[in-house]
Amino acid sequence: MFPYAITLGNTFVIKPSERVAGSTMHLAKLCHEIGIPKGVFSVIHGDFHTTKFLCENPTIRALSFVGGNKAGDFIYETGSKNNKRMQVNMGAKNHGVIMPDADEEDALNAICAAAFGAAGQRCMALPVAVFVGTSKNWIPKLVEKA
């Protein structure tokens, strides 16, 4: 989301999960290396109090969140009360659709990586796979790989 925000003339503040902040710090480093001016892409670390600050700070005009329902409910309620534009995606499920003309080995490896990579602790973890047509025959092999 930040490339669009920055391209359209906005600054962007991101608060990563306190459990897995490393990838966000890598993005910040890359932004610095490519010359994005200081303060245009910022990282703020913290817990509930930091989230509450972001939701209540009057200089922050919009919030976007992807994650669990409890946190999402709080962020939506608090941000809305503070007149912010809100985008809150909670409890989302990502679906992988496996077509019968896919390469079987590549598809099964990709499904395992998507479902179990980072121990499933990421927004894009794949909890649902939809096998179409004859690709349903691959399910026993997938169970062996998992």
Express each pLDDT in 12-57 by its tens digit: 999 998 888 899 999 999 999 999 999 999 999 999 999 999 999 9
Given 31, 55, 112, 123, which residue is catalytic?
123
Can you give the pLDDT at residue 133? 95
Same domain, 81 and 133: no
Q: Is the pLDDT of residue 146 over 80?
A: no
Lowest mean pLDDT across 3-17, 25-39, 84-98: 84-98
Number of domains within the chain: 2
For the chain, the first-to-last Cα distance in angstroms comes to 32
Q: Band of the pLDDT at 92, cuts 50, 70, 90?
A: low
Same domain, 64 and 121: no
Cα distances (angstroms) measured from residue 8 to each of 38, 102, 112, 116, 124? 17, 38, 37, 35, 25
Can you give the pLDDT at residue 123? 65
Rounded mean pLDDT, 81-86: 97
13 phi/psi in degrees, rounded to 5: -115, 125
For residue 94, which of 65, 120, 66, 124 has the smallest C-alpha distance? 124
Same domain, 86 and 102: no
Q: Write out the residue range of the structural domain in which residue 123 sits.
A: 95-145
Last residue of a domain, one of 90, 111, 129: 90
Same domain, 71 and 112: no
Q: Band of the pLDDT at 117, cuts 50, 70, 90?
A: confident
Q: Is the pLDDT of residue 120 over 90?
A: no
CB atoms under 10 Å from CB of 100, counted, come to: 14
**Alpha-carbon span 24 to 82, nearest angstrom:** 26
Same domain, 15 and 81: yes
Same domain, 77 and 99: no
Same domain, 79 and 102: no
Same domain, 15 and 40: yes
Same domain, 79 and 114: no
Same domain, 10 and 68: yes
123 carries an active-site annotation: yes
Residue with the bigger pLDDT between 42 and 1: it is: 42
**Alpha-carbon span 17 to 121, nearest angstrom:** 10
Q: Is the pLDDT of residue 119 over 80?
A: no
